[in-house]
Amino acid sequence: MKDFTFQNPTRIHFGRNALDQLPAEVKRYGQRILMVYGGGSIKRTGVYDAVTEKLQAAQAQVWELSGVQPNPRLSLVRQGIQLCREHQIQLVLAVGGGSAIDTAKAIVNGACYDGDVWDLYEGKGSNNTALPLGVVLTIPAAGSEMSRSSVITREEDWCKRGRNAYTNFPTFSILNPEYTYTLPPFQTACGIVDIMAHMMERYFTMEEHVELTDRLIEGALVTVINNAPIVMEKPDDYDARAEITWAGALAHNTLLETGRVGDWASHKLEHELSALYDVAHGAGLAVVFPAWMKFVLPRGGATKLAQFAQRVLAVPQDFGSEEEIAAEGIRRLEGFYQSLGLATTLTGMGIDDSRIPEMAARAVALVGGKLGGFVPLTAEMAEDIYRLAL
């Protein structure tokens, strides 16, 4: 097990009455609030009205920045920073999913940085402070509600970049599983895939003697797999939605990576897909992750993949050789994604091989070396994975 320092400062309010905590949070940080949200789902679902009512109760003065798109764009971030400066905003409140939260993270950091906010995403600048950030979550998926990451796309060249920073942790996050009842099946499915991917990126490590975190991840993955068919069948099943909502936050809050180094190649390969084709992040992962597994299996990955297959996907020990058990685990994972209604090939998503070399080169260039910690990938190897996904 590697040495580590663990701290996650995000305060979580969870459950049916979690929003009742909002007025007290507003009083803590200030009443000049910028509310950041997406394309309008919160107005259709009633979450907007519920949040507004609590903000009024706290006598807050609210400015709004709406129109965050999935795969959120840099230009809206710049508008948000401008609003913060113009109106001396004291608290930014993201209401929505990863896209609204990541936009708000870029705003709270950018507002405390003198240069251009994109510098922070390119590693050309840094900030030590950020404005307080609150979250009201409506989709369990990205885990941004408790993570130190923010992912933004620059429209000029469709460059999608993630930034990890301590100042990205939200100050508080409100998680009411009831707000996720209205998710369309496709978004529920994409969220489930992303949550599992955050666990699997950490699971596939070459680090040894990490039994505790291995078993925490396995338990969390089994929980998501067990509850997924329930929420697909019955979207307003509170208990199943609650399991998945909490799993989504724990998947990415850094606890599961303590003492180990994750892989993250699949995420980087997916980010190129969503940058160039604007596919939903979870949908892209359902295609990339199995292909990555097929690629690493014969390259040193068989033992860990076989453990995953047995403990998470219940492949019996007497199924066959280690390689056969591992391969069956990958087949079962693909079958699970398909049962959620998702494609598991690029062709199935309507994507051909024309931009594979470009995506592979960009993904590897972004990390400035080889991609991934489990089996380090060159650009040629990354191309092979995209082709395996066709």
Q: CA-CA distance, 58 to 54, in Å (whole number)?
A: 6
Closer Cβ to ligand NZQ, 30 or 185, answer by number: 185
- Per-residue tokens: 203: 């699971």
- Residue pair 200/293 in contact (Cβ under 8 Å)? The answer is no
For the CA atoms of 35, 39, 44, 50, the dihedral, rounded to the nearest 10 degrees, stands at -10
Which amino acid does the sequence have at 376?
A: P
Return the H-helix or E-strand segment holding 242.
helix 238-251
Q: How far is the CB of 102 from ligand NZQ (least distance, A)?
A: 5
What whole-number distance in Å separates Cα of residue 244 and Cα of residue 129? Answer: 32
Minimum Å distance from CB 85 to ligand NZQ? Answer: 24
- Span from 6-14, 19-27, 189-197, 370-378 in contact with Zn ion (CB under 5 A): 189-197
**Residue 328 binding Zn ion, by CB under 5 A:** no
Residues 89-148 that bind ligand NZQ (CB under 6 A): 96-100, 102, 138-139, 141-144, 147
Shortest CB 129 distance to Zn ion, Å: 27
**The one segment of 186-194, 201-209, 229-237, 371-379 that binds Zn ion by CB under 5 A:** 186-194
Q: How many residues does the chain have?
A: 390
CB 290 within 8 A of CB 269: no
Binder of residue 141, out of ligand NZQ, Zn ion, none (CB less than 5 to 8 A by kind): ligand NZQ
* 174, 192, 348 from 14: Cα distances, Å: 6, 19, 37
Host H or E run for residue 256: none
Residues 249-288 vs ligand NZQ: string with x where CB under 6 A? ---x--------------x-------------xx------
Nearer to ligand NZQ, 113 or 264 (CB): 264
Contact partner at residue 199 from ligand NZQ, Zn ion, none, CB < 5 to 8 Å by partner kind: none
Applying CB under 6 A, which residues contact ligand NZQ? 38-42, 45, 70-72, 96-100, 102, 138-139, 141-144, 147, 149-151, 179-180, 182-183, 187, 190-191, 194, 252, 267, 281-282
What residues make contact with Zn ion under the rule CB under 5 A?
194
